[in-house]
Chain A
Amino acid sequence: MMKLTEIIKKPFRGLQSDVDEAESPVRYTVLRRKIFALMAAATLIPLLAMAVLNYYEHMTTMSREIQNPLRVLVNKTKNSFELFLTERSSTVSLIASAYTYPELADENKLSRIFSVMKKEFKGFVDLGLIDEHGTQVNYVGPYALKGKNYAEQRWFQEVRIKGKYVSDVFMGFRKFPHVIVAVQHMTEDGRTWILRATLDTHQFERIIASMSLEPDADAFLVNTQGIMQTSSNNYGKVLEKLSFALPPQTYEPAVLSMVDPLGRDVYLSYAYFPEADFVLMAVKPRGSLLKSWYTVRGDLLFIFALGVVAVFVAAYRVTDVLIGRMKESEERREMALRQVEHSQKLSSIGRLAAGVAHEINNPLAIINEKAGLMKDIMVRGGEFTAKAKLDVQVESILRAVERCRGITHRMLGFARRMDVSIEDLDVGEIIKETAGFLSNEAMHRKVDVRLEIDPDLPRINSDRSQLQQVFLNLFNNALAAVADGGRIVAMAREVGDNVDITVRDNGCGMSDETLKHIFEPFFTTKKGKGTGLGLSITYGIIKRLGGDIAVESEQGVGTTLTITLPKGQREAMA
């Protein structure tokens, strides 16, 4: 039982382990072969079983249908033979009982009786009366056999013992094949005599002819010693030895399949006679009988072959599709894995960059302050010999600090790109909160900050802290631009698939020249007060979040910045 389950599991186990392991193209070839074989086997085995069963079922049925008529025919013909012989022997027996010995010994009377017999029953050749010593005392027939003594002949002995006798076919005195029917009669005074009739075998031929066999078929009588009693087309003339061995004895008609002495596959149908020493045989070549079976077999084979071809084609196609899908999904899985790996790598590089940038900032701040202090001292300390030279050195240090700031800025920009965390959020709330951070300064400078946020503004998928940074930058810029008592208006509304946020101020505005550069890093109009990073960072963030930023400005009138953010997260452009 264990072995059977092992056998069933084996090909599947092969499939499973192969899917997870090796990655070479050889694996797909092996897998393809296995799946193909499995599918073909799963389909072909039942098909083959069906075909074989069908074949044998059909063959059995066909052979039964062929053998049955043969059996019936042999039975009917045997009955005809038996009837023929019974009728003839009964007639002789009746005459022996109906007439006395002296009547039968009378030549005229016997001649009249014989002529009536011949008229009523065909096949009688002659009729003779034989006394207890075997001498034929009276005879009617075509031969001069009166006075012949049969005491030494076998049939005479047999009839003396059995009282009735039907002979095999033999030549005897007449020199042509005939059959003897003899009946012994006993008179009241204890004398015995025998009435004997001869039958010609033409009647046998006639009965066989009535079987209406095909030209290649054959039927004949043979005795139990294998001597032909009638002529056969293929197996010997009358009284010759049958050219094959006798089949086993059975009184019921039987059918055998055999190869005859001519080398043909034949059906032999036969039956032994219970009352006489005869066997009736009919031989039919199987080829002609099985012609229809061969046609059916051909059809079966053709359909089976067609089925096999169809199974192979289907299995091949299905395997092809299956392997294709497998390859595709594995490639997709690998790509996804690579992407995850890549983004993890980038994210850790990002964290490292941020860490380095932060660590560098503190010593950088010290250098900046120390150099600044040196500059301050030199400015306030009056003239000394190396002042000009030292001035140049301090300025050089301060420029180097600026360069370092640029480097850490770029590193942090990169880190930030790796650090986008998307969530479902309410932009209106973020704008309100960020504006709240600046309320102290706004109040102090009496700047009117108005928020016009659409109450039905949809939630969007974006990064909360990066959006806060953007809005903080925009509000800071607006606050820097407006004079005390100025106005800042922030609006948010839905436009198609996006949310538009506008921050408008009535500040100093910008020239066209300034507008061209405002998104560039380190560009500032705050004359040494700003970092020059605010809008370039804003621009980078908005692009990363799949949005856009636009600016309109007029000198002396004010500036309007419009940010467009997608409602759903789009592929970042950074």
Chain B
Amino acid sequence: MNAKDWKILLVDDEREFITTLAERLDLRGIPSRVAFDGESALEAIAAEEPYVVVLDVLMPGIKGLEVLERVKRTNPLVQVLLLTGHGSTRDGIEGMRLGAYDYMMKPLNIDTLIEKMESATDYAMKAAAQSGKNEGQ
């Protein structure tokens, strides 16, 4: 599976954090787009249908969990990796209940993130293929 095909959206209001993360992923050959709030994230998801969204839970405006809920309603095949404050597992668990693929705690370990992104992309691709097959039938 070529990392160039992963279609990743990174969402966080901490611009410094998320742009640096995007740059680091880019250095590893993983293209990604960024959004700095819930609303633009929802627009980007609707327009581009990424496989995986890395979504911060704590954001001003539309909160991460609400974005997750809406995404799961409109684009159920999109897989969401939640970013929570370190040790704040309640939000993570709540996210899992709402259909998140997994959750991770800040500060991140980039290798673990990439591992989870790969797993989630793989799952999303297969699910999309399955869904396409079902639609074709």
Contact = CB atoms under 8 A, between A and B. Distances in A.
A441 B20 contact: no
Given A357-B86, A408-B86, A529-B112, A362 B106 contact: yes
Interface stretch (A182-190, A251-259, A312-320, A465-473): A465-473
Contacts of B86: 357-358, 361, 364, 405, 408-409, 412
A409 B23 CA distance: 28
Contact of A366 (B17, B110, B119): B17
A368 B112 CA distance: 14
Contact of A361 (B23, B79, B90, B107): B107
Interface in B49-70: 58
Contacts of A409: 86-87
Given A365-B106, A401-B107, A408-B87, A437 B96 contact: yes
A109 B26 CA distance: 183
B97 A364 contact: no
A66 B7 CA distance: 128
Nearest to A464: B93
A154 interface: no
Interface in A508-528: 528
B96 to A, nearest CB: 4
B89 A369 contact: no
A412 B89 CA distance: 11
Given A441-B119, A441-B123, A528-B111, A361 B85 contact: yes
Given A372-B110, A376-B27, A437-B97, A366 B89 contact: no
Interface string A348-386: 000000100110011011111110110011001000000
B106 A361 contact: yes
Interface string A153-187: 00000000000000000000000000000000000
Interface in B79-97: 79, 85-90, 92-93, 96-97
A441 B124 CA distance: 11
Contacts of B93: 434, 437, 465, 468-469, 472
B105 interface: yes
Interface in A261-305: none
A361 B96 CA distance: 21
B108 interface: yes
A525 to B, nearest CB: 14
Nearest to A471: B93
B101 interface: yes
Contacts of A537: 87
A400 to B, nearest CB: 11
B111 A529 contact: yes
Given A469-B93, A472-B93, A444 B119 contact: yes
Nearest to B98: A437
Interface string A412-439: 1100100000000000000001100110
B14 interface: yes
A373 B87 CA distance: 24
Contact of A362 (B14, B101, B112): B14
| Chain B binding surface SS class | helix
A129 B85 CA distance: 154
A16 to B, nearest CB: 48
B97 A369 contact: no
B2 to A, nearest CB: 19
Contacts of B14: 362, 365-366
Contacts of A531: 105, 109
A24 interface: no
B69 to A, nearest CB: 15
Contacts of A354: 88
A370 B17 CA distance: 8
Contacts of B88: 354, 358, 412
Quick one: which of A361, A364, A528 has the most chain B CB within 10 A?
Answer: A361
Interface in A324-369: 354, 357-358, 361-362, 364-369
Nearest to A402: B107
B38 to A, nearest CB: 17
A364 B83 CA distance: 14
B24 A364 contact: no
Contacts of A368: 107-108
A370 B20 contact: yes
A530 B109 CA distance: 8
Given A373-B24, A441-B102, A528-B109, A365 B126 contact: no
A531 B87 CA distance: 10
Contacts of A412: 86-88
A17 interface: no
A212 interface: no
Contacts of B21: 369
A447 to B, nearest CB: 13
B85 A433 contact: no
B16 interface: yes
A515 B27 CA distance: 38
B101 A441 contact: yes
A440 interface: yes
B111 A405 contact: no
A472 B87 contact: no
A365 B87 contact: no
A405 B112 contact: no
Contact of B123 (A361, A369, A444): A444
A348 B58 CA distance: 22
A358 B85 contact: yes
A395 B92 CA distance: 30
B52 to A, nearest CB: 12
A440 B101 contact: yes
B135 interface: no
A364 B107 CA distance: 6
Nearest to B88: A358
Contacts of B58: 358
Given A401-B107, A412-B87, A444-B119, 11 more contacts: A357-B87, A362-B85, A362-B106, A373-B24, A376-B28, A412-B88, A416-B87, A444-B123, A444-B126, A465-B93, A529-B111
Q: What are the 4 closest A-B residue pairs judged by CB atoms, nearest first?
A: A437-B96, A412-B87, A368-B107, A369-B20
18 contacts: A357-B85, A365-B106, A365-B108, A366-B20, A369-B16, A369-B24, A372-B24, A373-B23, A408-B86, A409-B87, A437-B97, A440-B79, A441-B123, A528-B111, A528-B112, A529-B109, A529-B112, A530-B112
